[in-house]
Amino acid sequence: MIVNQIMADRIWPCEDPVSKRVTVGVPGPNEQPDWATVVGVVGNVKHTTLAGETGMQMYQMVAQSPFLALSLGRTMTFIMRTQLEPASVAGSARSVVAGLNATLPVSNVKTMDTIIHDSVTPFRFNMFLLGLFAAIAILLTVVGVYGVMNYAVTQRTQEIGIRMALGAQPGQVRGLILKQGVVLAAEGLVIGLGCGLIVLRWMSTLLFGVSTNDPIIFIAVAALLAIISLVACYLPARKATQVDPIIALRHE
């Protein structure tokens, strides 16, 4: 038989599993155990669902083990590799099986692309919804930061006018407004990253081959939100530098 890496590590830790012998099935009271020799180790495969955990797996020829044939429920899956159109090969496969035994039904013929697509479709839909909500959240972030900063500039119009009348440069006024926006954005990023760490366990069921603790992802998201916040703050800051000191001083 051939075993997967999990089975090899669990039964023969720190040993070479090749040439080891194991029993297959449960022998009857007057039967000898059915021994099998390990001839190789392969990678771990998810046979049922991508969300499930992979356990110990073994591969053995059905002709060698009647027990496996019975445990499969008298069904079997054949996998064919071809460079032709899969639909055209399906008919030939049915003909070959019918030539061996006309009573054997051939059903559920699918391409591997279809099987993979069907297995990940629910997760893709969930990730699409999460992506959509994330895009809406980013849009709300831009609108919210811009609205808050624009309101802050309006409230500080008289102050800004006094500063500019006393000789403040446009760059200094922009820096003042941007500093306030950066503080608000930093507070939002800290809260957002904290909430993201809380939902990591739930997110792990939707990700495959990707770590939920990847620091690059957190840094990239934080950088993206920081850039978006700076852009949203820049427009009110630019507006503040265009305030006429005389009009600002008359502002209530």
Kindly tell me if the per-residue pLDDT of 114 is higher than 90. no
Report the distance separating Cα 189 and Cα 141, nearest Å: 11
Distance of CA 42 to the CA centre of its chain: 25
The pTM of this model reads: 0.56
Tell me the backbone φ, ψ of residue 42, rounded to 5 degrees. -120, 175
For residues 132 and 217, state if they share a domain: yes
What DSSP element (H or E) covers 113? helix 112-155
Tell me the backbone φ, ψ of residue 24, rounded to 5 degrees. -115, 125
Q: Quickly state the pLDDT bin for 140 (edges 50, 70, 90).
A: confident
3-state helix, strand, coil in the chain (%, to 5): 60, 5, 35
Report the distance separating Cα 10 and Cα 146, nearest Å: 57
Q: How many domains does the chain have?
A: 2
Kindly tell me if the per-residue pLDDT of 7 is higher than 80. yes
* Residue 134 lies in domain: 113-250
For residues 242 and 149, state if they share a domain: yes
Hey, how many other C-beta atoms are within 10 angstroms of the C-beta on 218?
13
Q: Quickly state the pLDDT bin for 139 (edges 50, 70, 90).
A: confident
For residues 122 and 222, state if they share a domain: yes
